[in-house]
Amino acid sequence: MLNATIWLATSSSNLDANDLSGASDNISIYPNPTSDYVYITNTNDSNNYQYTVTDFLGRNLETGFVNSGRINVEKYGSGNYILTVKSASNMIKSFKFIKK
């Protein structure tokens, strides 16, 4: 017998095609791969962004606010991670990055 837990994320708002364009399209990260910092670039102020670093097992490793346009990832072991960035206007974008 298989015993599993299924998690379902829901939202009370409707997604419109226009929600997929705009400020989040301008967010990017570099360098990738990295050994110390991930830098976030955007035409707007990246210091207003909240971020979450998640491993590929789905564990949230860190949540915080971007400081000086960069996130310190030195503490993580070598591997693949997901960086999710949320702007002050609630635009969300996720990136895969490699920690050397």
Q: Which domains does the chain have, with CATH numbers?
A: 22-99 (2.60.40.3080)
Is the CA virtual torsion 80, 59, 7, 29 positive or negative?
Answer: negative
pTM listed for this prediction? 0.73
Q: Is the link from the previous residue into 31 a cis peptide, with omega within 30 of 0? A: yes
Length of the chain (residues): 100
> Cα(35)–Cα(76) distance, rounded to whole angstroms?
9
DSSP tag of 2: -
Mean pLDDT of the chain: 80
Q: Are 35 and 99 in contact (CB under 8 A)?
A: yes
How do residues 47-91 score in pLDDT, each as one tens digit?
679 999 999 999 999 999 998 889 999 999 999 999 999 988 888
Separation of first and last alpha carbons in the chain:
40
